[in-house]
Every structure is written in C-alpha cells, then in structure tokens.
Chain A
Amino acid sequence: MNKHVSPKMNRRAFVIGTAAVGTGLAIGLDLPFGGPAVVRAADGSPEIGAWVVVRPDDAVVIRIARSEMGQGSLTGLAQLVAEELECDWSKVSTEYPTPGQSVARKRVWGDFSTGGSRGIRSSHDYVRKGGATARLMLIQAAADAWKVPASECTAANSVITHAPSGKTTTYGKVAEAAAKLTPPSDVKLKDPKDWKLIGKGVRRLDTADKTTGAMIYGIDVKLPGMLNAAIKDCPVFGGKLKSFDEAKIAGMKGVKQVVKVGDTAVAVVADTWWHAKTALEALPIVWDEGDNAKVSSESIAKWLAEGLDNGQPAYVGNKNGDAKAAIAGAARKIDAVYSYPYQNHATMEPMNATVLYTADKCEAWCGTQNGEAAFAAVLEASGLPAEKCDVHKVMPGGGFGRRGQTDYVRQAVIIAKQMPGTPIKLLWSREEDMAHGRYHPITQCKMTGAFDADNNLVALHYRLSGQSILFSLRPEALQNGMDPAAFQGVAQSGEAAFGYSVPNLLIEHAMRNPHVPPGFWRGVNVNHNAIYMECFMDELAQAAGQDPLEFRRKLMGKHPKHLAVLNAVAEKIGWTTPAPQGVYRGIAQVMGYGSYVAGAAEISVTDGNKIKVHRIVASTDPGYVVNPAQVERQIAGSFVYGLSALFYGGCTVKDGKIEQTNFDTYNSMRINEMPKVEAVMVPSGGFWGGVGEPTIGVAAPAVLNAYFAATGKRIRSVPLRDQNITFA
C-alpha cells in the first residue's frame, strides 16, 4: 500500500532555489557544467520538472498544489500526472509544495485554491503536461545513454524500453541525467481512449494514517515550546471588543497571557488549550455590539420578503421573451414563495492554525483550502515580506468551503505576533465555530409560472431576494453591481446553466445583504436555486396535470446533457413502474460546476411528519471520471451534507448573533438515517466538470418532491425540523 506522506510540520517538503535565501531553506540548486539547474528534493532526489521527483529506487513523488480535504482529489491529481508519466502506480506518493516555495518559483504550481469543485477540472491540463514532460525527459535521458533516437524508446510502469536493441532501464536509473535536460516545450497529451489509470477507481493514497490516528490535522500540530490559544470574537458580527478584565483570571492554572485580537476579539494563551478555554470562559468581556444587535431572523426575513416585490430593484441574470407580459396575458398562472436559511459548514475539525512569529519570519501550519490565500493572510497580518513567510498545509478535518477563508489564520498570526518566538496554536471551540461561520447565504424566491389554454408552460418568472456571497467576499467579481454567481444553476449559459427552455423567462436577483457574513458552502448558490426551481417545476407539473418527469422532459429538448442524467436516474429508480406500497418518489436535476446531475429519492412518510428515505439514485455527467470510486463517494457525501442541511440545519439570528451553538442545536445525519446512494455515472467526454458539489443541489428537492407525492403537502422552507418533520 502506498503511503501518502502527510506533510510533517517540521519537514521541508523539498528545497528550492536561490530566491528562498533568508527563509532558512537549504539551497538545492545544482549547476553542473553550466547545464540547466537541477532542483532537488529534501532527500537529494532530482526533480524532473516541477511536478515529479524520481528517487533512485524508482519511487515517484508527485507534487500536489490543491488541497486534499477528504474529497479525494489528491489521489485524482496524482492519477492524472501518473497517467502521462507512465510510472509504476504502486510506488507513487505525494507531497505539497508550500505557497512560499511556489511564489519563489514564479507560481510554477499554479493556483492552490481548492473550491468550486475546481481541484481537478481547472488543473487537469497542466498537471498531465507535467507528467508527460517528465516522461519525455526520462526517455530522452535513456536514449542519450544508449545513443539511440528517443523516438525508438517507450516507457511503461517506470521502465524504459528500446525495442530494437532490447535494452531496458528504469526511471530511477536515468533520473539524474533526465533532470539536467531542458524540458520539451511542446508535449502532446494522450487521447482519452488510451488512458489506463485515469478512469480507474484506485484506492486513495492517504487512507492508512487516517485509520491509526497518525494523520496530522491542524489541531494536532505540535511545535517545541508551543502554547495554546482559545478565542472569542464579538458574537454580533460587526461588533467590537470594548474591554475585558484579565485580573479576574490572572491566577488560573496554565494561563500565560490575555491578548486582544484586532478590534473585535480576545484570546487567552495558556499551556494547554483546555486551560486556555477554561480561563476564557471565566474572563469577563464587554462587547460593543453596535446596531447589528437589533437584527433577527424575523427582521431579515421581512427585508428579504420586500425584495420579492417587483417594484424593487433587481439584477437580471437570465432572460428571454417578455415573462411579465406573458404572465399578465396567460390563461392560467400559479405562484409560490420559497426560502432557504443560513447554514454553517460545521466541519468536524473546528477552525485552527498554528503560527510561529519571529522578528524576521512568520510561518503558519494549518488546514486550508487555499494555501496561497492563507499565505497572503500571513503576509498581511505579520507585516513581513513574502520571502520571510510561509504556510505549511496539513490535512483539514473537512473544508466544504469554510477553509477557503483565512480569518482563523489571520487571528493566529495576530496572537503570535504579540508573543514573538513562541509558537501559538489557536483553536476555536465548536461554539466559536458555530458563532463565526461564513454562512450559506440566506435567500427567498418568488416564482410565477403561466400556462396557455393547452397547459403548456409559456412563462416563468423567478425572483430571488437575498444575500450575495461575492458582494461580501469578492466585490471585484461583481458585474456592475450584479453577482453573476447568484444565478448558479439557473444561468443563461456556462458551467451552471439552466436546463429548461421557456419561451418567456425572467430570472432576477434583488440583492439584500444582511450583516451575517456569507461564504461558499458546499454547492453554494446551487443549493437554494435547485430547491426553488426543481420543487416549483413539480408544482408546475402538478398544476398542468402532468407527470413531473414528463413535464420536465418536454422543456429539455434543447438541453440534451441535462436530459441524459435525468433519464438515467429515472430509469435506474424505475420511474415508469410503480413504487413499492407506501413508497413515493421525487426527482430533480441541475447543472453546476460544469457537471450535469440528477437525483431521485424513494421515501415513505409516517404520521405525516416522519420520513424514511429508502432509496437514493443519483447520476452525474462530469465529462470525464478520473476516479469512479471517489466520485461515487462525493455523490453519496453530497446527499449526506445536503439532507443534513434540509432536515437538521438552518442557522437563525437573534440579537444579531447566531443562535445555534453546537451539534445539539445544529445536528447532522447519522448512519441510521442514510440509505445507500446508487450512483450512475454517465460521463459523455469532451469537457471537465467538478464532482464535489453539484450533486448536493438535487439532494433536497428530490426528497421534498417525494414528500409532496407522499402527502400532498408542499414544503417551501428549510429546515424540516422547524416544521416538525424529521427522520422516521
């Protein structure tokens, strides 16, 4: 079994060039006889291009820039490189370059950001080229040694063969020579039909340590002399820290220091985290909560409801024909208002980061979905230049979008900066994690559909009111004020395109941004858009007196890929045959993150409010499937995350604060509530879509539509616990 080398905190992944002088990194630049520079890994093995290190024993180390957080793309990315490298997969391990090393080498590893189901789909081309480049260099080195044309040599399983002479050698034997060659500039990638490793459900490279307790997560980082910090940030977002009475906890065991963290937070630093947390709870703190303390879920809901009024300004995201006129003149129309609440990511591992700050250096060890963003946070908070900073990524205990933000890294640096020379591990309590999430945005949606006399859908008006993530986190990405991401799943075109043709269509967004900070939460805007659209599509079908599947199909003639996944789930669940006695079905489809997905659920309902989910079928067309075993896990995991949010989730606001504090008030599905997910992969090729997120969009609407089929009741808001509906 290959062992993924989990990044050890004090281990240099590898050494880099002269730009790193001053960081304490050894210089691994080898300039023999004026040839190209050889960059060496920590153990002295040569790099064959930036993505591959080959050891004398033929072991191959593949560099991974994106973050593994459970989604499996570390293994998938290694498969992509290894496919082109033609190396022995059983000898592959991986390692993370640090963002500091990447910056020092002109971002040779590209983007580190691991969100938006982007890990593989945004880097497949250059990582495969990295593998192919290394293969060509290794073959060239062998050919040079044999004095034969490289074109007569082939490589497979880390063995290079010159067929005409029968000579063979291995990657490890020619690696030194290969490392000195100039990389070829033009490399050709394999035709997908020739893939041997891509498309195979090989086991993950990072499993073994996760079964023995040996895997190091951020919370497990230990540095010599390290102290531990517990933090409280003003529970009202936007509020400030007024004062705290540190004398009250001065004698408490283990307490070393109480520090202000920016204008809004206070941290207790102690020998152990338990001591820090205990003292923090005893620390009298006065907050300046500000005007946001007047905000409640009710006041937010009222404000959003006003945005549903057509008289209020809104951004138009998708439009054809004249929906308002068509609705006004239609034979019949129906409308409905839906809503979706705030959700916390609730990663199993609360936010944390460990930072060592000295006068001339600042390093962080943390789980992060974006090493470069964490690096930028270290630079900014420390005030030190790039060459004096770095971030060492460790395994995150879940990400789901939360660890794309760097607030916790910034806090740890601010604390460590006040205690130079002492490594500080900042760990949030679960309560702090619940109180200071970057929440799934809150929205409402009013939809109106209009029919002609023959029950054909002639118009659809989809009016969203609520929060924009980009407004808060990436205002530079707004387009004349409009948040294009707000239309994920209902967009005119692109990676999250609407899958229906309606002659008169108006999809618009009245942006209203409450003070609760929004974030990218697995599935992001696809979550609510898919619930709104797919549940209302069922309402339209019912109003037209048609089968929900047939009604959709009629509108999907111009969207064959959307239709194909819908057909795949319909077939697998047996839509046209009767469900077992007492069992009811629901179906949904959406496009997100470049992939087409559909889901169907079979449920039974007892006493009108106890749901048993018997079966889930989900199909996906992500273009190419790199590792079907991992894609299957992402599909199933998306249902667990999506249905947890549907049944148990929802964060509410009182006095400007989030009310939910832990898993007792923000529960998550358990094994007894979750059926097997039957995944149907229908990759049609020719494009690369994501798999970590899109399926979550269909999880809730498939179940909600089944609930209607079972009870005749429409559920138009989340979570179900607020409506006294739970798992059977």
Chain B
Amino acid sequence: MANLIINGKTFTLDVEPDTPLLWAIRENAGLTGTKYGCGIAQCGACTVHMDGVATRSCGISVAEAEGKKITTIEGLASGSSLHKVQEAWIAQDVPQCGYCQSGMIMAVAALLIERPKPTDADIDEAITNICRCGTFQQVREAIHMIASA
C-alpha cells in the first residue's frame, strides 16, 4: 500500500513500493493522460511534476514519490480554466498524434515556472522530450507565444 498525493488528492493504492510511479498513476490511480513511451526515462512521455519539478515518472518508484506533491496532465488546469501552456497548445495547434504531448506540456509548464520568458537556448536545454511526429517547431512557437504574452 502507498499513499500518493496526485493533483491535490490523496490516493491510497495497492501497489508494491518498487512500482514505477508511471504505472501507479496509470493503472492504480486510473489517470491515463500520463503516457508510457520507453520505461527508461529517455523519451519524456511520462513527465509529471513532483513538487513542481518536471520528473520522468517511469524512472522513479512509488516509494520515492510518497509524500511528494505530484501533478499530472489531468491536474494542470485549474478547474475548467486551462493552464496557459494548454491554451497556447490549442492556439498554435501543436499536437499531431498527441501521444507525447502530455509529457511535453508538463515539461514546458515546469520550465516556465523556472524561467517565465525562456530563450531558444533555454528551450533547447530544458525540453528534451522525444516527439516522433516532429512538432518541435510548433512547441517552440507556443512557448514563445506564452513568454511574450
């Protein structure tokens, strides 16, 4: 059993402590917006916030996540009002297949906490998620749109 604080709610989940956080979120908490891409913290599709920091949830265990504030893509909006990254993603029509975009959006949202007006170099440094469809151009434009708002 583990207690996880996800999107402001405490989940008591029947999982072994070494279960990757990703799978506890997806299968036990039932929040499927966070995606599995590689399982080895390479692709970033599973990115969530842990105490406000972008974290690849496939690479850390439930035991490590206990007591931390976890935010998933489902918890990014405030009620019915979308987060500014989500709004920019819609305005710039960023996603293609969209599978990597939960992780991409979470990574960008975390970057903007740290650097509200990121430069191209900041983006290059911080955003290392894989997108096989190749949406990078729209990702960059959407980030700049937010920064210049």
Which residues of A approach B to under 8 Å, CB–CB? 1, 69-72, 203-204, 206-217, 219-220, 222, 228, 253, 272-274, 346-350, 395-400, 427, 429-430, 629, 633, 636-641, 644, 662-664, 668-672, 674, 676-677
Contacts and interface: CB of A to CB of B under 8 A. Distances in A.
A348 B135 CA distance: 13
Contacts of A629: 93
Nearest to A68: B97
B133 A637 contact: yes
Interface string B106-119: 00000000000000
Q: Which applies to chain B's interface (DSSP): helix, strand, loop or mixed? A: loop
A211 B105 contact: yes
A641 B127 CA distance: 18
B28 A272 contact: yes
Nearest to B88: A211
Given A349-B36, A636-B137, 11 more contacts: A72-B96, A212-B74, A213-B73, A272-B28, A274-B27, A349-B97, A637-B134, A641-B132, A662-B38, A664-B40, A672-B127
Contacts of B39: 429-430, 662
Nearest to B96: A70
- From A212, A636, A644, A676, name the one whose CB has the most chain B CB atoms within 10 angstroms: A212
Given A274-B19, A636-B134, A212 B33 contact: yes
A663 B97 contact: no
B134 A640 contact: yes
A71 B135 CA distance: 11
A430 B45 CA distance: 12
B73 A70 contact: no
Interface string B64-94: 0000000011101100001000100110011
Contacts of A429: 39
B109 to A, nearest CB: 11
A211 B76 CA distance: 10
B37 interface: yes
A400 B132 contact: yes
A70 B133 contact: yes
B5 interface: no
Contact of A1 (B90, B127, B131, B136): B90
Size bracket of the B interface: 35 or more
A274 B74 contact: no
A349 B27 contact: no
Contact of A219 (B32, B38, B73, B139): B32
Contact of B86 (A211, A273, A349, A400): A211
B137 A348 contact: no
Interface string B19-49: 1100100011011111111111011010000
A492 to B, nearest CB: 32
Nearest to A399: B97
A670 B76 CA distance: 24
B20 to A, nearest CB: 7
B11 to A, nearest CB: 15
B57 interface: no
A352 to B, nearest CB: 10
Given A211-B89, A219-B32, A674-B137, A396 B97 contact: yes
B101 interface: yes
B17 to A, nearest CB: 12
Given A212-B74, A213-B33, A668 B132 contact: yes
B20 A663 contact: no
A137 B29 CA distance: 49
Contacts of A217: 35, 99
Contacts of A209: 98
Q: Which applies to chain A's interface (DSSP): helix, strand, loop or mixed? A: loop
Contacts of A208: 90
Contacts of A670: 127-130, 136
A663 B36 contact: no
A59 to B, nearest CB: 20
B32 A348 contact: no
Given A203-B93, A219-B35, A664-B40, A211 B138 contact: no
Nearest to B23: A274
Given A641-B134, A664-B42, A671-B136, A348 B97 contact: yes
Given A70-B133, A212-B86, A398 B74 contact: no
Contact of B99 (A204, A206, A348): A348
Contacts of B34: 213
A395 B97 contact: yes
A636 B141 CA distance: 14
A644 B23 CA distance: 28
A506 to B, nearest CB: 36
Given A430-B37, A662-B42, A210 B98 contact: yes
A57 B138 CA distance: 34
Contact of B72 (A70, A213, A347): A213
A228 B36 CA distance: 15
Contacts of A398: 97, 99, 132-133
Contacts of A1: 90
A638 B133 CA distance: 8
Contacts of B30: 222
A348 B45 contact: yes
B51 interface: no
B108 to A, nearest CB: 10
A668 B40 CA distance: 14
B100 interface: yes
Contact of A677 (B82, B90, B137): B137
Given A203-B93, A211-B86, A663-B130, A219 B36 contact: yes
Contacts of A662: 38-40, 42
A687 B4 CA distance: 57
8 contacts: A210-B98, A212-B76, A212-B86, A347-B132, A348-B35, A348-B97, A633-B134, A671-B140
Nearest to A668: B130
B119 to A, nearest CB: 12
Interface string B51-68: 000000000000000000
Contacts of A348: 35, 37, 43, 45, 97, 99-100, 130-133
A702 B27 CA distance: 45
B82 A211 contact: yes
Contacts of B96: 70-72, 633, 637
A674 B97 CA distance: 19
Given A211-B90, A212-B82, A213-B74, A430 B38 contact: yes
Nearest to B40: A662
Given A207-B90, A211-B101, A674-B136, A220 B32 contact: yes
Nearest to B72: A213
Contact of B32 (A206, A213, A347): A213
Contacts of A215: 98
